[in-house]
Amino acid sequence: MADASPRRASSPKQASQSSLSEAASGWAGSHARCLLESLGRLHRRWVASLLTVLVIGIALALPTGLYILVKNMDHLATNWHESVQISVYLNTDLSADQGASLAQRLRDDADIDNTHFISAEQGLAEFKKASGFGDALDALGHNPLPGVIQVTPRAAMPPAAVGELVDRLADTDHVAKAQLDQAWLRRLSAILDLISRASWVIGLLLSAAVVFIVGNTIRLDIENRRQEIEVMKLLGAPDAFIRRPFLYSGLWYGLLGAVVALVVLGGCYIALGGPLATLVSSYNGALALEGLGLSGIGLVVLIGILLGWVGCAITVNRQLAAIEPG
C-alpha cells in the first residue's frame, strides 16, 4: 500500500526478482547480525548478565544433579537386587546329606540360578568364629542352628517373581522357613522413587523460576531501552523487528545458563571425586558411574534455550506494546 516506489516500478519483473533475493539475503543477514548484536548487548552490561546467567545456571544444575543422582542410585539398587539371596532354613531333623541333595534338586528349578548348602555344623562353626559367642554355644550342649540353603534367584528377576519363589520354597517339604531380607531394598526403592519425583517437582519449580528470571531481566532491559524502542517505532520498525534482539537475548541467557549448569555439575563431580572413586572401586567394576551423556548435555542446553526463549516471549510482547511514541 504505502510502498509505491517509482524506482522499482520502472522494470517490474527484474525488480521483483532482485528485491526478492535481496529480501531473502537481507532477512538471513539481519537475523545473524541480530544474534551477534544481542550477545554484544549482554557483554556490554556483563555484570548484570553474568548474575542472571549464574542464577539460571544454578537453577538448572539442581534438578539435573538430582536426576543424575537418581539414575546412578537406580543403577546401584538394580545391582544390589541382582545380588539378592534367599535363605532357606531346613527342618532340624534333616541330615546334612539330605540337605545337600535337596540343594542339588532345587538347582533344577528354572527360577533358581544356584544353590549353596550350609550344614548345621558348618553354620555353627562360622557363627562361632564371627560372633565370639563360642563358649556360650558350647555351654548349650547341642547345635541350635538349622541347615541352610542359600538360593540365588536367576538374574534380573522382578521383585514380585522373587516373592513368589520365596513362597514356593517355603512350601517345599523339609523346609521350615524361606526368607528374603528385602525390606530395606524396598525402602531404598521407595526413597529413590521419592527423590525422582522430587527432582521433577523441583525441576518444574526451578524451570518456572528461570522463566521469571529471564522475563524480569528482559523487562528491565526493555525499560532501559525505552527511548531506543520509541525511535525505532517512529522510523517504522515493525514489532517483530523490535522484538527480535530481545528474543535472542533470552536465547543467549538460556544457553549460557545451561553451560553454567554443566560447569557447576562438573565442579560437583570433581569435588565428590575422591569418595566416589572409593565407592566405585569397592564394587570391583560392578558399578560404573553414569554421567549425563552427550544426549543429556544436549537436552540440558535445549531446555535452557527453550526456557530463556519462553521467559522472554511472555514478557516482551506486553512490554513492547506499552511503549508507544507520543
Partner 1 sequence: MTDIVAFDNVVKRYPGGKLALDRVSLTLARGEMAFLTGHSGAGKSTLMKLIGLIERPTRGRVVINGIDLARVHRRQVPRYRQRVGLIFQNYNLLFDRTVFDNVALPLVIRGLAHRDITRRVRAALDTVGLLAHEKKFPITLSGGEQQRVGIARAVVNRPYLLLADEPTGNLDPDLSADIMRLFTRLNETGTSVMIATHDIDLVQQMGYRRIMLDHGHLETH
1 binds partner 1 (CB under 8 A): yes
Q: Report the residue number, 18 or 281, with the smaller CB distance to partner 1.
A: 18
48 binds partner 1 (CB under 8 A): no
Among 11, 29, 302, 322, binds partner 1 (CB under 8 A): 29
Stretch near partner 1 under the rule CB under 8 A, chosen from 95-103, 182-190, 196-204, 318-326? 318-326
- Residues in binding contact with partner 1, number by CB under 8 A: 31
Site for partner 1 in 6-25 (CB under 8 A): 7, 22-23, 25
326 binds partner 1 (CB under 8 A): yes
Site for partner 1 in 228-287 (CB under 8 A): 228, 230-239, 241
| Residue 123 CA, distance from chain mean position | 44
Site string for partner 1, 211-230 (x = CB under 8 A): ----------------xx-x
Q: Report the residue number, 30 or 78, with the smaller CB distance to partner 1.
A: 30
Q: Least distance in Å: CB of 240 to partner 1? A: 9
**C-alpha cell at position 100:** 545337600
Q: How far apart are CA 71 and CA 181, in angstroms?
A: 24
Residue 100, CA distances (Å) to 97, 110, 148, 190 in order: 5, 19, 10, 37
Q: How far apart are CA 253 and CA 52, in angstroms?
A: 7
Q: Report the residue number, 27 or 212, with the smaller CB distance to partner 1.
A: 27
Q: How far apart are CA 207 and CA 212, in angstroms?
A: 9
Q: Report the residue number, 22 or 121, with the smaller CB distance to partner 1.
A: 22
For the chain, first and last CA: distance in Å? 24
Q: Least distance in Å: CB of 34 to partner 1? A: 9
Q: H or E segment at 88?
A: strand 86-90
Alpha-helix residue ranges (DSSP H) falling in the chain: 6-9, 12-44, 46-82, 96-106, 120-131, 134-140, 159-170, 183-224, 226-234, 239-271, 273-281, 293-321
Q: Least distance in Å: CB of 252 to partner 1? A: 18
Q: For residue 177, list its beta bridge partners.
A: 89
Residues that bind partner 1 in the complex, under the rule CB under 8 A: 1-5, 7, 22-23, 25-27, 29-30, 33, 44, 227-228, 230-239, 241, 324-326
